[in-house]
Structure 1
Amino acid sequence: MHETLDLNLARKVLAAQPFSVLLGARLTAFGDGEATLELDLRDDLLNQHGRVHGGVLGYAAENAAAFAAGSAVGPGLVTAGFTVDFLRPAKGEILRSHARVIRAGRTRAVCRCDLTTIDTDGTSTLYAVAQGTIAVTETAP
């Protein structure tokens, strides 16, 4: 993990993202090439069928992947691209997006992300998987 980044600093970065604040996202784990982002699934984050909106899943995958990459290569990153495969319509109480770096290089990091929901009884169900490429835009200090 990059020396200047830790969970507290990563949480400050998340809190500086207005869209993340709007969604109520929280970073629950960060370090060693991994990050976990969670958010409570409110009615205003669902689609007309009462399932988690795909845009919310995409946000969670992309942001968790960027934080995972940041924990491995440091700050100064942007997402170069990502894909999400929706396995089934998502429902639950909490959305958890866990990303991990598959490979980190000088200019890019490739991450995989599992998107699960947690039900009121604690059951975790996998609803989507994603892969993202994060570009390094500046050399970390």
Structure 2
Amino acid sequence: MDFLSIARSALAQQPFSVHMGAEITHCSPQHTEIHMPMKDEYTQQYGTAHGGALSFLADTALAFAGAAALQSIVVTSEFKIHYLKPAVGHRLTARARAISHGQRQAVCQCDIYALKDGEEKMVATAIGTILPR
């Protein structure tokens, strides 16, 4: 199954994801990777990424990782995010994977990195439960 093509098609049908500039570059049952540009509109008053932008990216990556693991259309049941350090740079990358899954749910983990001056720094981590729709 071509998970990446399916995921790209699904992401392209999400107006908010398109608005945010999210691009899925890898999607398989083993892991998912999504990139998003760091635009001024996504920052707060200190010039770092707003938590809402990071949460969007985490939720999206968790859902695609869960969808690939469950091989199903899915919804996010819940997720928790930990902001580790200020996100500064020109691109954000989310890397997610299912850490446990059965037929009725997938528990997924996602790390978010900010790219600045050619160096990635982990800025957030999230865990969530993904359910078949």
Q: TM-score range by the shorter chain?
A: over 0.9
TM alignment of 1:1-141, pairs within 5 A: 3=1, 5-119=2-116, 121-137=117-133
Unpaired segments ≥5 residues, structure 1? none
- Aligned-residue RMSD, C-alpha: 1.0
Runs of 4+ aligned residues of structure 1 deviating over 2 Å after TM superposition are: none
Give the residue type in structure 2 aligned to 1:53. H
Unpaired segments ≥5 residues, structure 2? none
Aligned to 1:113, the other structure's residue is in SS state strand
Contact 1:96 1:117 in 2 (8 A): yes
Residue correspondences, number: 133
Work out the CA distance in 1 between the residues paired with 2:39 and 2:82.
Answer: 22
Identity of aligned residues (%): 38
* TM-score after normalising by structure 1: 0.91
Contact 1:34 1:69 in 2 (8 A): no
Work out the CA distance in 1 between the residues paired with 2:9 and 2:124.
Answer: 27
Aligned to 1:52, the other structure's residue is in SS state coil
* TM-score after normalising by structure 2: 0.96
